[in-house]
Amino acid sequence: MLQAHKKIGVVGVFLIVVMTIILGFTSMQTKVSAHAYVQQTTPGIQENVKQAPKQVVVQFDEAIQNQSPLIIVTNQKGEQISDGNASIEKENSHVVSVPLKKGIKEGIYTVNWRVISADGHAISGTFMFGFNSSGEIPSASSDESKTPVLQSLVKWPLYTGFSLISGVLLGLFYLIPRTSRRHLFHNLKLLTMIGILLIVIASITQFIAQTALLNNVSVVKALDFRLAWKTLISTEFGIIWLIRTVSLFMFAVIGHFYFNRSSDKWHLKLGVMTLLFIIMGLATSFMGHTQAYTTIILSTLTDWIHLTAAGIWLGGVMLLLSLYLAHRSKKSDEVVNVAYSTSLERFAAVGFIAVLVLIMSGVLLSAFYLSSLMQIFKSTYGQTLLIKGLLIFIMGVLGIFHFVSRTMKNKKVPNKGTLWAEIIAGLLILGVVGFLTNTATPPPPDPKPISSSVVVGDHTIDLEVLPAVIGQNTFRVRMDREKKEGNWQQIKMIVEKDRSEVSTTTTMSWNKDAQSYEAQGLFISQVGRWKITIKALSEDFKTVEETFIIRIER
């Protein structure tokens, strides 16, 4: 018994160390939104251009899925002037564009767009621009991301099913004494079957809802086989969903042999079941907000740890309630009594570690998507987090009360009311988590221009990059801090991704208004470290060269 507790303690310390390392790594990472937000448009919002644009471009702060992006441009009469379908640029998956018809007339134009962000959620918006318009351009613009109700609701049975199976696996691996496991197979099999059934129902409903969202059709039309097949084989969601479904099927088959056949190789069967269950959990974590974070593996791992900790906590309580009911109905059955009392004692340490990991991983997930503490109080996502935190606190207090009262009274039997209360609180938490996974996080703060200055010999080079985002940027260089063109024959700029052999070279021109040498273009295509090398050739053919290292965060 003592050795088992030591093993659990070692596992707990290991998980806490892992979470601490992730926390430290997270502090160095980029804060990003879980839903895409518009960074800039061409033409700009409410911009009155002098020349007829050839296309409309919308740039987002994260990658856009190639699932029928939509940009429709109409004139004041409601006539469509966009020519063809919108497309995502091959060089930069943050940018969506649509060509315009030739010979458009002067006036005000409305742009309606709809895309699927990296986390699989649909976002849409509207903005207006003018072409030699004599009237005022309306400020009506929006950037909407509604929380899909059906996709939020299906997460409840999904997470509940995962929790039930987590509780069963926890019981088979540790909580229930080995001598009692075969005796309780009927109870454990029933919990497993309920868990599988809930996951199946949730998975089917989730697939239909996501098919409707990705193809911008109603739920009824999403039942069309062709749309379902397209979603299954040509989308990231479909592939991940298929992996989870196949893993669930294999889990059910091996589980059948485990619970209904001989005990030969039961360790192997249980190990394979656990591996398949982990794959199902990771596949679930690959769907949603985690895909919008800069380091997908980091966010997915943290989300999986969070869901696993919640499943162990709630699933363990569900298992205890099942054993409690078996204990009450079979008081004369010594095997059941030993299994129940032992599981109850062992769960104290497991539950404590699970709660600790749950809280730490929850804080990390919040840090991924919230750029300031005030967003907790001012955004729907943050307010929902507060509700979730309150429910976790209530569930934790109930668990402590249950443990303390049982210890003080020196009883093996817990308060049935507190067990039910813990389960209800846990189920509410799962419902809130389901809502959170489909709720838009607060938009990140506006990017700030990057400025840097360096002295090279007798010269000073000042570099400014604005707005310092993926896509279109303006690069300004001032030599010797002079506000005039100066004695320079040529100034070249070389832009390359750090640790990359691909670079772009351009010649900078003097901008009288900005009083600096300037270059504009799509030189930056992704987040991370970039090298910007400035080469200035003077009138007497001397070269002044310096490389700046900048970091693009969104």
107: β partners:
131
How is residue 325 written in tokens? 């009911």
pLDDT of residue 121: 74
CA–CA distance, 444 with 438 (Å, rounded to integer): 17
Q: Is residue 486 part of a domain?
A: yes
Tally of CA atoms within 13 A in the half-sphere of 101 that contains its CB: 13
Per-residue pLDDT, 406:
57
SS3 state of residue 110: strand
Question: Does 458 lie in the same domain as 331?
Answer: no
Which contacts (CB < 8 Å, 24+ apart) does range 203-206 have? 203/158, 203/241, 203/244, 203/245, 203/248, 205/150, 205/154, 206/151, 206/154, 206/155, 206/158, 206/241
Residue pointed to by tokens 């059955």? 333
Q: Where among 385, 408, 436 does a domain terminate?
A: 436
CB atoms within 10 A of CB 443: 16
Q: Do 108 and 154 belong together in one domain?
A: no
Residue 31 lies in a domain: no
Distance CA 8, CA 44 (A): 58
Looking at the fold, whether 202 and 271 belong to one and the same domain comes out as yes
Burial of 139 (0-12, 13-18, 19+ CB in 10 A): exposed
Residues 29, 157: Cα–Cα separation, whole Å: 33
* Together in a domain, 387 and 499: no
Domain for residue 72, yes or no? yes
Q: Do both 387 and 488 map to the same domain? A: no
Give the domain range for residue 106: 38-143
322 and 340 Cβ atoms separated by less than 8 Å:
no
397 and 527 part of one domain:
no
Close Cβ partners of 315 (under 8 Å, ≥ 6 residues apart): 162, 163, 164, 165, 166, 167, 168, 170
Verify that 101 and 173 share a domain, yes or no.
Answer: no
180 and 116 inside one domain: no
Domain assignment present for residue 18? The answer is: no
**pTM > 0.85: yes or no:** no
- How many separate domains does the chain show? 3
* Rounded Cα gap, residues 142 and 29, in angstroms: 29
CATH number assigned to the domain comprising residue 55: 2.60.40.1220
285-340 pLDDT, tens per residue? 888 766 666 667 888 888 899 889 989 988 998 898 888 888 777 665 788 888 88
- Domain with residue 524: its CATH number is 2.60.40.3340
* Residue 154 covered by a domain: yes
Q: What is the pLDDT along the chain (554 residues), one digit of tens a residue?
A: 444 444 444 444 455 545 444 444 444 444 444 566 787 788 888 888 888 899 999 888 777 877 778 899 998 888 899 888 888 888 778 889 999 988 888 899 999 888 887 767 778 888 889 988 887 887 755 555 555 667 778 888 999 999 999 999 999 998 998 888 888 888 899 999 999 999 999 999 999 988 888 888 888 888 999 999 988 988 888 999 999 999 999 999 999 888 887 566 778 888 999 999 999 999 998 887 666 666 678 888 888 998 899 899 889 988 988 888 887 776 657 888 888 888 888 888 888 888 888 888 888 877 777 767 777 777 777 787 888 888 878 777 776 766 666 555 555 555 566 667 777 777 787 777 777 766 666 666 667 888 889 888 888 889 999 888 777 788 999 888 776 666 788 899 988 887 776 678 888 888 888 788 888 876 777 777 888 899 988 888 888 888 998 887 76
Burial of 432 (0-12, 13-18, 19+ CB in 10 A): buried
Q: Count the neighbouring beta carbons within 10 Å of the beta carbon of residue 18.
A: 16
Domain final residue, candidates 92, 115, 143 = 143
- Peptide bond before residue 43 is cis, with ω within 30 degrees of 0: yes
Please state whether the peptide bond connecting residue 69 to the residue before it is cis, i.e. omega within 30 degrees of 0: no
Whether 242 and 379 share a structural domain: yes
Asked, for residue 442, whether it belongs to a domain, the answer is: no
At residue 4, the pLDDT reads: 47
Q: What is the pLDDT of residue 291?
A: 65
The residue among 116, 143, 170 that closes a domain is 143
Q: How far apart are CA 281 and CA 11, in angstroms?
A: 19
Does residue 482 share a domain with residue 338? no
Which stretches of 83-154 are DSSP H helices? 149-153
- Residue 282: inside a domain, yes or no? yes
Q: Is 280 exposed, middle or buried (0-12, 13-18, 19+ CB in 10 A)?
A: buried
213 plus 90 within the same structural domain:
no
Classify residue 21: in a domain, yes or no: no
Same domain, 130 and 159: no
